[in-house]
Structure 1
Amino acid sequence: MKTYKHYKKHLAIIFAGLFLVSCGNFDEINTNPNTPNQVTSQMLATSLILDIARVPNTKGFLMDDLLSKYMAWSEFVQGEQYNRIERVGFDGLIILNQVDKMVGFAPNEAQKNSYKALGHFIKAYKLFELTRRVGDIPASDALKGETDDIYNPKYDSQKEVFQLILNELNESDQLFSQGSNFDGDPVYNGNVAKWRKLVNSFFLKVLINLDRKADDPDLGVKSKFQQILSGKPIFEGNNDNFQLTYSDKENQRYPFYKLGNNFIIYNMVGSPIIDSLKSHGDYRLFHYAKPTSVRLNQGISPADWEAYEGIDPSVSFTALSQIASGGDYSTLNERYTEIPEGEPTFHLSYAEVNFIIAEAAARGWVGANARQYYEEGIRAAMQFVASHTPDQEMFHKGRKITNDYINTYLGSEKVLFASDVQGQIKQIVFQKYLSNFLQSPFEGYFENRRTGIPEFPIDPTTNLNEVSDQMPKRWMYSQAELNFNTEHVNQAIQRQFAGNDHVNALMWILKD
């Protein structure tokens, strides 16, 4: 971690930015015109929630989709498309310094419980996202410069980090159960019942990422999964999604909406998603992508499957540029660029939670009906797309996703639930991939890394990973850590990777 001096500099910037924050549903839920310069619990809560819920705008919005092979990019050689992963910083943890201040400003005990619960969840969320990028991280001693004079914190093993994450989530659920609705929440409007559902649903996501450690007695993965599924509130519908919604107001529009977006012309939908949708007769094709200009000029109907063509994201940039010039490729559907509200961007969805439970059931962790959860995940994912697609020909090409269509789809040969465990897991993770198009940043990559599903195209001649026939496995530690916390980061690198901090090293959660 950075020294205390660096923390104070960043913290000052964060507090200055609090007064410029806009909200997620983006109504004025957290401002008081009579005291615009007074920091409050609700202002800090808004800042913390938006810190994990927001996604980048314009070009940045699609960069994670290049690594997950949903998209390709024609502007120039983009590293993410060709599997270049470099270093990641730890500055994202600094905002956790706001948690104690947020709790301290709370007006009563019930509100304190809710803000404490929020703080525990935000910490768990950020530790989870960081550790699955790099491996071991400072967790138990992180951010103790002000309280304990620990300016160069030790690194916890990844197992210890996950134990801490699970404890944080357990504490969050308990405190939300003792709390009251709170102000400053742009996602659930402070509804603690909704937050409990999120905490426990996210708990399930963390546990499924420990699939290789399911028999570790220190973690109790299976028993914890069973406890949540049998007695804790979890997502019950798409309205529980952890997501931001948008409106046709300045700084509140969909991240890839056309206004002020000079990068629309460079997006190309990848063949992994288009070919998958085609092979499964999946109407989401007509909602995700546009037909190619070449096929339309040939008289092919926009409602025809052959009007759509994905680009192999591993193809050389020279070949990609030639395809881009020729126009025989699909770009994003107009609903992503022509509608200011677009669709909500989620980080965890009801559909994904169903797929997680389906996988756990298929693995024998719980006695639930794997097929039932698998089919409910598909249904929820399709209904999400349908509900955020205006009923206009240009947006669905006449291939509307209705309940009758979904039922037909579920009974089709390739979608019908397999009879063997490996086949079931392959179908579940594959459907999760289809449902997360332009959603849940980097999730397609992480699921491919965890399960190998779906199989990503790799061309050794274009792959920027030094191991030319595979995807990279992790980000490297930040240069700031190497400069300012040298002893501890080097100990972590030695402990995990025999002293070699590189992108192809296997972290603990990826080892059998």
Structure 2
Amino acid sequence: MKRYTFPLLLTALLAVTSCKDFEDLQVNPNNPTQAPPSQIFTGVLYDWYNADYEPWSETQRLNQFYAITFDYYGNQDYNWSSTGLNYGTLRNVLQMEKEAERLGDNSYAGLASLMKAYFFIRMTERVGDIPMRQALQGLDENYTPQYDTQKEVYLQCLDLLEQANTQLAAVADQMVAGDIFMGGSLRKWQQVSNALYLRTLISLSHQADDADLRVKERFAAIINNPSTYPLMQSLDDNATMKFFNVPNNQYPINPSNRGFTIGRYVMGATYLDFLKMYNDPRLFVVAEPTDSAKASGDPDYATKLTSYVGAPSGATLGDLYTNSDAGKYSLPKDDRYYTYTGEPTIIVGYAEQEFTLAEGIARGWASGDAAQHYTNGITASMNFYGITDPVVLDAYLSQDGVAYAGNGDAGLIQILTQKYLAFFQNSGWEAFYNQRRTGVPTFDIGPGNQNGGRIPERWQYPQSEYRNNEANLRDALQRQFGGADDINRPLWILE
């Protein structure tokens, strides 16, 4: 039998392995390198929801819809620091685009344009200038992208939203897989995209006269061309996250965690006081009477406005805990919210769209009936809570303080107030962003908020930017805020 010495074996092995590139040897054959665009799309939508939109989260506390009374569960602290950015999700959007192109599927192109616009807007409205033109170029070895100004970011995003409308119009009769918001309907996604277009334009109200942005012109084009820019027509067109009694998809407060949160989560006074002011039927749908009212012996306690009390968001946790423990605050409506399915969480909704249309018309950006859109928004919000009786609705809409006061400052305040009420436990940070932009409603501020009696204007950049792209970040900070990463300095869109 022939024997081989060790050197000869080593030489043979080297001859075999040298035929393969080193990079080929780094590829794990057990890891997929391709994925259906539908699977990537599902992940992107979960990122959208998980970033900001979970009900009964910190977001909704800082919108002043509810308060936490015990520091183990959180607080109402506005002295925040850095935020996360969404470049990881945007890489997935690019991969979704790439996989769809590989398969010759053009149905995801408009969705990709929409998602890019959404996530770039989300980042810039939190911190200010961000990398956009040079972002996501790591494969080209650009690891330190320059920052675009906030104006440049919005110009690109407005163009992306325009592009999304055109692309979605071309495939509006098609359906896509992987859609957890709209059931796969690209026609409905076109409506959602244009509602987001309107949301973006109204967020630029401080810069409405900028000649490059063309805010008023774009707004008027959308409202005057419904066949080109279809919009939502009812609650059925809402983009929502629905909950089911299955693992990882249960309503955030539910019977499983009720013992931990009941008594700790109390209704916020900023929100509840408006409902009481206008004898709003939504009050009795969303809130419980206080335990004090229930123990009063009054047989009519459940129908009296005085039985509903919200917690001031600016109070100290000590005061909140003492009053909550004494049964002085209203809790969330037990049979509505402490269930496994809860209510659908609105991501982008018809009521918001109608209030946005009313605001733009009231500001003189386009012709139209602001009063009708205002009424549509209120009615849609009421319907969301199951309030559909025309007598009840008419009584609410016709009362002083609710009946539309006309296209002036008083009317704008009414529109913005009702928009805030419609955002309850929905639409992520939109209640905060609208308050930051307009001052409506007046937020409660006190010793519990830890920011010197101020509502912050922005978030700080994440530490990863300081580690990986410091020179460009420092340039952007100098350009915007004199070098300081200050949460109390206004963004360009608010100047």
Distance 1:289 1:71, change over 3 A: same
Moved more, 226-235 or 374-383: 226-235
State the Cα deviation string for residues 50-105 of structure 1 (Å, max 9, x = none). 211346799x8421111111111012187751322210122x22122123332333
Distance 1:217 1:78, change over 3 A: farther
Secondary structure at the aligned position of 1:320 is classed as: helix
Which amino acid counterpart does residue 276 of structure 2 have in structure 1?
A: K
Equivalent in the alignment of 1:88: 83
State the Cα deviation string for residues 264-312 of structure 1 (Å, max 9, x = none). 3310111111111001010111111111111110023212211111111
Contact 1:79–1:85 (Cα < 8 Å) also in 2 = no
Equivalent in the alignment of 2:493: 509
State the Cα deviation string for residues 171-213 of structure 1 (Å, max 9, x = none). 1111112223221111112211111101111000000000011
1:297 aligns with 2:295: yes
**Distance in 2, Cα, partners of 1:48 & 1:420:** 39
Which amino acid counterpart does residue 194 of structure 2 have in structure 1?
A: N
Contact 2:253–2:339 (Cα < 8 Å) also in 1 = no
**Distance in 2, Cα, partners of 1:450 & 1:70:** 18
1:495 aligns with 2:459: no
Equivalent in the alignment of 2:370: 370
Percent identity between matched residues is 32
Which amino acid counterpart does residue 474 of structure 1 have in structure 2?
A: R
**Distance in 2, Cα, partners of 1:168 & 1:240:** 22
Contact 1:254–1:342 (Cα < 8 Å) also in 2 = yes
1:445 aligns with 2:445: no
Contact 1:118–1:172 (Cα < 8 Å) also in 2 = yes
Structure 1: which 5+ residue stretches go unaligned? 1-11, 17-35, 387-399
Equivalent in the alignment of 1:287: 285
Q: CA deviation at 1:124?
A: 0.7
Which amino acid counterpart does residue 230 of structure 1 have in structure 2?
A: N
**Distance in 2, Cα, partners of 1:267 & 1:114:** 43
Contact 2:289–2:308 (Cα < 8 Å) also in 1 = yes
Equivalent in the alignment of 2:65: 70
1:407 to 394, 405, 411: 394
Query: What do you get for the CA RMSD once the two structures are aligned?
Result: 2.2
1:250 aligns with 2:280: no
**Distance in 2, Cα, partners of 1:107 & 1:211:** 37
Q: CA deviation at 1:248?
A: 2.2
**Distance in 1, Cα, partners of 2:262 & 2:289:** 16
Equivalent in the alignment of 2:124: 131
Contact 1:208–1:356 (Cα < 8 Å) also in 2 = yes
Contact 1:57–1:256 (Cα < 8 Å) also in 2 = no
Contact 1:67–1:83 (Cα < 8 Å) also in 2 = yes
Distance 1:77 1:341, change over 3 A: closer
1:483 to 447, 452, 467: 467
Which amino acid counterpart does residue 449 of structure 2 have in structure 1?
A: N
**Distance in 1, Cα, partners of 2:255 & 2:340:** 8
Equivalent in the alignment of 1:42: 38
Which amino acid counterpart does residue 370 of structure 1 have in structure 2?
A: A
Q: CA deviation at 1:37?
A: 10
Q: CA deviation at 1:260?
A: 4.1
Structure 2: which 5+ residue stretches go unaligned? 1-26
Equivalent in the alignment of 1:317: 317
Distance 1:38 1:138, change over 3 A: closer
Moved more, 291-300 or 257-266: 257-266
**Distance in 1, Cα, partners of 2:351 & 2:487:** 31
Secondary structure at the aligned position of 1:425 is classed as: helix
1:53 aligns with 2:45: no
Equivalent in the alignment of 1:342: 342
Equivalent in the alignment of 1:457: 444
Equivalent in the alignment of 1:234: 231
1:417 to 371, 396, 404: 404
Equivalent in the alignment of 2:256: 259
**Distance in 2, Cα, partners of 1:72 & 1:357:** 31
**Distance in 2, Cα, partners of 1:107 & 1:499:** 43
Q: CA deviation at 1:420?
A: 5.1
Q: What is the TM-score with the length of structure 1 in the denominator? A: 0.85
Secondary structure at the aligned position of 1:382 is classed as: helix
**Distance in 1, Cα, partners of 2:440 & 2:63:** 11
**Distance in 2, Cα, partners of 1:405 & 1:96:** 46
Equivalent in the alignment of 2:18: none
**Distance in 2, Cα, partners of 1:503 & 1:55:** 20
State the Cα deviation string for residues 128-161 of structure 1 (Å, max 9, x = none). 1111111111111111111x22111111000001
Contact 1:198–1:242 (Cα < 8 Å) also in 2 = yes
Moved more, 131-140 or 400-409: 400-409
Q: CA deviation at 1:249?
A: 2.2
Which amino acid counterpart does residue 165 of structure 2 have in structure 1?
A: D
Q: CA deviation at 1:337?
A: 3.4
Moved more, 486-495 or 338-347: 338-347
**Distance in 2, Cα, partners of 1:177 & 1:420:** 33
**Distance in 1, Cα, partners of 2:436 & 2:101:** 45
Distance 1:493 1:104, change over 3 A: closer
**Distance in 2, Cα, partners of 1:69 & 1:332:** 14
Q: CA deviation at 1:422?
A: 0.6
Secondary structure at the aligned position of 1:265 is classed as: coil
Which amino acid counterpart does residue 274 of structure 1 have in structure 2?
A: L
Q: CA deviation at 1:458?
A: 1.4
Which amino acid counterpart does residue 62 of structure 2 have in structure 1?
A: L
Equivalent in the alignment of 2:7: none
State the Cα deviation string for residues 11-52 of structure 1 (Å, max 9, x = none). x9xx99xxxxxxxxxxxxxxxxxxx99721111111112211
Distance 1:117 1:419, change over 3 A: closer
State the Cα deviation string for residues 95-121 of structure 1 (Å, max 9, x = none). 221233323333888x73321211111
How many residues get paired?
459
Q: CA deviation at 1:255?
A: 1.9
1:154 to 140, 146, 153: 146
**Distance in 2, Cα, partners of 1:117 & 1:418:** 39
**Distance in 2, Cα, partners of 1:240 & 1:54:** 21
